[in-house]
Structure 1
Amino acid sequence: MELLNQIKENAKKANKKIVLPEGTEERTLKATEILLKEGIAQIILLGNPETVKANAASLGVCIDGATIVDPATDSNRDAYADIMVEIRKKKGLTKEKALDMLNDPLCFGPIMIKAGHADGEVAGAINATGDVLRPAFQFVKTLPGMSVVSGAFLMFLKDKTFGHEGVMVFSDCAVMPETNDKQLAEIAVATAKTAKAIVGMDPKVAMLSFSTKGSAKHDVVDKVANATKIAQEMAPEFKIDGELQLDAAIVEEVAALKAPESPVAGKANVLIFPSLEAGNIGYKLVQRLAGAQAVGPVLQGMAAPINDLSRGCSVSDIVNLVAITATQAAG
């Protein structure tokens, strides 16, 4: 796809160091070969070097050019532990406990980023989302002014009349089960920034609900309406409007009837769902029934790009998410 190819080209220019904690895993090794061959990013694989190389050899995969780091023996362990203790000293973290935590590649990766030895991370091919994100939250933390992390999906639609030439961004589909109005507003602003930085689109953000401009009354509608106002105040440079029903957000004929004054209705390319439940169901419906390609989740709100894969991911999914992560790291 043209956009994915452009993202890869942007990643090549950025030449960022991306750490892959699941360095012995089959799809990760196959993706590494592609990433190195295409020059998309510098790759750091975590794991015992002998095991990593043996697994690659058994797969017939060439990973020459990758840096292999063993969390159990790396010379930076002591310095990394000091960083961890400084960050978590109020939580009672000791040096001994920190050194033990560093044996886990999912902890080691974020500390590499914190120390400036890597620019981003991609993991989750064989680990649960919670296990990937926990050390990221603890040590990398969120961007200044952000209280919430969310997960956006780039949706590549077959029907190019929707979104930005067939590309839409959906959020939050991966992280926050429940949000208040301020958090939902932060997610909207973060997703607009993702859409602009990664996709290059002019974001038109629809705050979705089962109501359009007061057509229904309920506390959850009020939350979306309030979040819309907060998001507009947070980021007046973006077109953000709501609350909007889905058809009013993306179908011009419906928008003309339900929200004729809206700068977003009928033209939305970024959809903000009112809950994780709705977002997760929504992106999977579009993926499965409309045959869209879903790339992500792209995590938003972190102080450094750390992205989580689905355990059902393909090799190409890993390649694409590394390219996106490198693009995020480029700023």
Structure 2
Amino acid sequence: MDVIGNIINKAKGDIKKIVLPEGTEARNLKAAEIALREKIAQVILLGNEAEIKAAAKGLDISGAEIIDPATSPKHAEYAEAFYQLRKHKGMTMEKAREIVKDPMYYGCMMVKMDDADGLVSGAVHATADLLRPAFQIIKTAPGVSVVSSAFIMIVPNCDLGADGVLLYADCGVIPNPTAEQLASIAVSAAGTMRALVGVEPVVAMLSFSTKGSAEHELVDKVRKATEMAKAMAPDLQIDGELQADAALIPEVAQLKAPGSKVAGRANVLIFPDLQAGNIGYKLTQRLAKAEAIGPLLQGLAKPVNDLSRGCSPEDIVAEIAITAVEAQSL
């Protein structure tokens, strides 16, 4: 299954405006060139125009829109809107004007005000630097209580999941989710799998116990989260608590969870906490030589996606396409 190829083709079918706040960064500029050349998205680069053009020497970014947040004609409008969003938190108009000069905040305001369809950042910024303005400006989608992250894992020579494609969550945002948060993560992850991979999600709520094989408060949390997720999305194929082998391997599932319609067929794995999720995706990536696409933020009202600081230009192109496809679904 050519997951990224399919996503890129879908992005090309309905071109969206994607803003890159890290407008002078070399990998972003190369990704912008590729995305423009391949007609994957309209690209907006944020930063000083002269600095961007100097950094892009030898690249063709002529099709990109370049905006300097500090001098943009929209600055006053965005500052006023940001002030209205945050005045209950003590925001002043003077402070709002200064904050909106920051490309991360300006980019999120572009998405909020429908001047861009989505945003991709993180090549040089930490996840927290992206999440802060995203939480403050874009906020969570209706009916979603938390923002979380997911990775699409493409495992070579593997017939588990959806022909070797799985989605892992949460691997990057919430350290120790409550049962309610875990349920929300599961429902969001199912939507991500359906929208991006194009297959029906089969969701396993992972634990160190399968169907009562162990008793512990951590197991209780997963059981509770499973029931809450079922109530939130009654049509979703979801079950728990399941150990990883019971979730993935049909023969093990028959022994450990014979009555489950999910066990042995799962393609979406929901980890009980951030430690497990982060360790799990990195082990899969390194030991199974899997491609890890993400982190993909889920649960926001509009598409914003994070990058690993070790990302390549091709990784950024993939996330531009993913963000465009997420925007199409809105």
Q: TM tier, shorter chain? A: over 0.9
Q: Which moves more between the two structures, 214-223 or 1-10? A: 1-10
Tell me how far 1:160 sits from its aligned partner: 3.1
What letter corresponds to residue 56 of structure 1 in structure 2?
A
What letter corresponds to residue 167 of structure 1 in structure 2?
V
Match of 1:183 among 181, 184, 196: 181
Q: Distance in 2 between matches of 1:243 and 1:8?
A: 35
Q: Distance in 2 between matches of 1:135 and 1:236?
A: 33
What letter corresponds to residue 178 of structure 2 in structure 1?
N
For 1:131, the equivalent position in structure 2 comes to 129
Q: 2:11 aligned with 1:7, yes or no?
A: no
For 2:28, the equivalent position in structure 1 comes to 28
1:180-259 equivalent positions in 2, closer than 5 A: 180-259=178-257
Tell me how far 1:159 sits from its aligned partner: 2.7
Q: Distance in 1 between matches of 2:272 and 2:65?
A: 42
What letter corresponds to residue 262 of structure 2 in structure 1?
V
Q: Distance in 1 between matches of 2:319 and 2:10?
A: 13
What letter corresponds to residue 303 of structure 1 in structure 2?
A
Partner SS, residue 68 of structure 1: strand
Tell me how far 1:3 sits from its aligned partner: 1.7
For 2:95, the equivalent position in structure 1 comes to 97
Deviations 1:115-152 (A, max 9, x none): 11001000000011101110000011001111110100
Q: Distance in 1 between matches of 2:98 and 2:265?
A: 51
Partner SS, residue 78 of structure 1: helix
Partner SS, residue 18 of structure 2: strand
Tell me how far 1:95 sits from its aligned partner: 1.3
For 2:157, the equivalent position in structure 1 comes to 159
Q: 2:323 aligned with 1:325, yes or no?
A: yes
Q: Distance in 2 between matches of 1:159 and 1:202?
A: 21
For 1:310, the equivalent position in structure 2 comes to 308
For 2:74, the equivalent position in structure 1 comes to 76
Q: Distance in 2 between matches of 1:18 and 1:27?
A: 15
Partner SS, residue 330 of structure 1: helix
Give TM-score scaled by structure 2 length: 0.99
For 2:49, the equivalent position in structure 1 comes to 49
For 2:286, the equivalent position in structure 1 comes to 288
Q: Which runs of 4+ in 1 moved over 6 A?
A: none
Q: Distance in 2 between matches of 1:235 and 1:145?
A: 11
> Gapped runs of 5+ residues in structure 2?
none
- Calculate percent identity across the aligned residue pairs: 58
Partner SS, residue 240 of structure 1: strand
Partner SS, residue 154 of structure 1: strand
What letter corresponds to residue 121 of structure 2 in structure 1?
A
Q: Distance in 1 between matches of 2:104 and 2:155?
A: 33
Give TM-score scaled by structure 1 length: 0.98
Q: Distance in 2 between matches of 1:31 and 1:79?
A: 29
| Aligned residues between the structures | 329
Deviations 1:191-225 (A, max 9, x none): 00110011011110000000000110100000000
Partner SS, residue 93 of structure 1: coil
> Gapped runs of 5+ residues in structure 1?
none
- Give yes or no for contact 2:75–2:101 (8 Å, CA) kept in 1: no
Tell me how far 1:154 sits from its aligned partner: 0.3
Tell me how far 1:173 sits from its aligned partner: 0.3
Partner SS, residue 238 of structure 2: strand
